[in-house]
Chain A
């Protein structure tokens, strides 16, 4: 996968393959995930998932267009590679245009949560659920919200790996 990191010496902003990016730490991600969960009654985790899906999608679409990648399996693989480049963990991804599965053997969100607070009593990786929705929708050239994801195994809960089940909406 081709990745170009740039730093604008005028604005001091970073970019990843031409898309503005920023460095943050596991504290910020863990606290943001917790904020979403604390305000779940007004849609906090849904907002977090959708924000992840909508912000990641343009990176994927542009990459596929710029590199003439049309094969869905190859697109899924690039989505998994991007995840690691962003520092979000190791992703293995499989599936088709109806259903899929995402496995994480390392996860920034979960390992950051554990470093900060220890094990959680419920799954915390809402960011990656949204990320997975973006990857599947981009792989099959479908509109946003075409897929829904749910964590069925969670590193933050103490499982060895995270498993996210992905289904067509």
Chain B
């Protein structure tokens, strides 16, 4: 059975996500926060604008992608090994790494990162993701701005096809080829070996 994204999203989106008595949200092996999307977008937009003034655009862009990349690698590992994932997604996994990836993208969607899915996988070599809605599309600025999706997508692919966790980092990168923020109908992201 193929992992049914919408079914997973519905199940996970219904989980209560609010601070406990310590004001913290421990889940999926990490501490979760729920902040306004405008915080993340405003920070990216303003730091990139300042970077442009300082001729540090590439450096800051790489750093923004890296924030999501490291987050995606460690949290992605936490997600696919969590009780939540085992109870909701694992029963649908019959197609190995491909299905685990599909499940990871369903969680990605449930967290509100992007309404996204895998449209093509060449196992261990290349993956194409499309997102028809993602909060980074609302960020101001110039050009493609989905830094978070790029970083997380590289990380998820490494979890599926690189050396076992935690030794599989640094093997793939992700480029954004289309973007709603630049006038396209959807965002498109291509992961491939470095």
Interface residues of A (CB under 8 A from B): 3, 5, 7, 9, 11-14, 16, 19-29, 31-32, 35-36, 38-39, 42-44, 47-48, 50-52, 54-56, 58-59, 83-91, 105-106, 108, 111-112, 115
Contact = CB atoms under 8 A, between A and B. Distances in A.
Contact of B111 (A19, A22, A52, A84): A22
Interface of B is mostly: helix
Contact of A48 (B19, B37, B43): B43
Contacts of A23: 17, 32-34, 111-113
A14 B37 CA distance: 9
Contacts, number: 178
Given A27-B71, A87-B25, A21 B112 contact: yes
B159 interface: no
Q: Most chain-B CB neighbours within 10 Å: which of A5, A14, A89?
A: A14
Interface of B: 9-10, 13-14, 17-19, 22-25, 28, 30-40, 42-43, 46-47, 50-51, 53-54, 56, 60, 63-64, 66-68, 70-71, 74-75, 78, 109-115, 133, 135, 148
A65 to B, nearest CB: 17
Contact of A12 (B9, B53, B75): B9
Contact of A20 (B37, B54, B74): B37
B115 A27 contact: no
Nearest to A28: B71
